Amino acid sequence: MAKKRHSPLPGFGLTLGFALFYLSVIVLIPLGALALRTSSLGWQEFWRLATTDRAIASYRLTFGASFIAAGINALFGTLLAWVLTRYEFPGRRLLDALVDFPFALPTAVAGLTLADLFEPNGWLGTWLVPLGIHGSYTRLGVILALTFTGLPFVVRTIQPVLENLERELEEAAATLGAGRARTFLTVVAPLMLPSLLTGFALSFGRAIGEYGSVVFISGNLPYKTEIAPYLIVMRLEEYNYGGAMVLAVVLLSISFVLLALINWLERWASRFQR
């Protein structure tokens, strides 16, 4: 910890100064403007705009669908991370690369192609719609889109943890007579849990703010398939700036709480791994 306070390298003032200036202009001042303008509304008006029926319906869908999508991702993300780190099979590298695909694909393209797949005459819709599973223009569609965009978060958070897991622990458990299922549940699962929770929270956080992939598939029906970010856009188009700002502040606050939670989870996890 005895690092020298004064590094002999030049450029501290210039680089920090520029970084702070740029950060302020691009991020801090615009976000500050949102806070300032919203605070001028006053509490009563804020509460009224934040709790309109339509807003509450949109929160319900946004948080509910995000939660379910993050849950699906936690399940399949764990499966994928496990298969990718533990097994050798033909096509493993391709599968590994494919996991990043939702990160790389622009959300509008993701929304467009998912909407098309689940339409009654789409590749998946042809099979699913006769079974009564309607993917497009429904809440299920919202969940599908959010699952797609959030998947890499869980896989990429769990994968390094599984890679660094000491196999000796499992072998010790096996030597002591534990079956494979019991070893997994009592030895591996607890070690994976912090990263699984972090991945869940990251996926959930991404889903709350997600817009592009959802608007194509959901149909955006007020009270039914309208997510909160879409309602912000609607308010803006009505020139209802107050309504838009209030919803934005609600979304932002929840994102920040999640961010704090993720930071805390990561610190908790790193204490485990030492």
Partner 1 sequence: MAGAPTRKRMARAEKSQRGSEESPLIKWTLILLAVLFCGIFLLLPLVNVFAQAFSKGVEHYWSALKHPESLAAIRLTLLVAVISVPLNVIFGLAAAWAIAKFEFPGKPLLLTLIDLPFSVSPIVAGLIFILLFGMQGYFGEWLIDRNIFIVFALPGIVLATVFITFPFVARELIPLMQAQGSDQEQAALTLGASGWQTFWYVTLPSVKWGLLYGVILCNSRAMGEFGAVSVVSGHIAGKTDTMPLRIEKLYNEYQGAAAFAVASLLALLALLTLFLKAYLEWKQQRNEGS
* Binds partner 1 (CB under 8 A): choice among 40, 45, 64, 101: 101
Answer yes or no whether residue 127 interacts with partner 1 by CB under 8 A. no
Answer yes or no whether residue 221 interacts with partner 1 by CB under 8 A. no
Applying the rule CB under 8 A, the residues between 70 and 99 that interact with partner 1 are: 76, 79-80, 82-84, 87-89, 91, 95, 97-99
Contact present, 228 and 205 (Cβ < 8 Å):
no
| Contacts of 153 by beta carbon, 8 Å cutoff, 6+ apart | 73, 77, 199, 202, 203, 206
For the CB of residue 132, give the shortest distance to partner 1 in the complex, in Å.
19
For the CB of residue 208, give the shortest distance to partner 1 in the complex, in Å.
7
Nearest to 119 by CA among 138, 143, 106: 138
Q: How far, rounded to the nearest angstrom, does the alpha carbon of residue 228 sit from its chain's CA centroid?
A: 15
Which H, E and C letters describe 28-56, residue by residue?
HHHHHHHHHHHHCCCHHHHHHHHCCHHHH
For the CB of residue 183, give the shortest distance to partner 1 in the complex, in Å.
7
Answer yes or no whether residue 50 interacts with partner 1 by CB under 8 A. no
Applying the rule CB under 8 A, the residues between 251 and 270 that interact with partner 1 are: 251-252, 255-256, 258-259, 263
* Binds partner 1 (CB under 8 A): choice among 141, 158, 210, 220: 210
> Tokens for 29?
């001042």
Residue 68 burial (CB count, 10 A): 18
For the CB of residue 114, give the shortest distance to partner 1 in the complex, in Å.
6
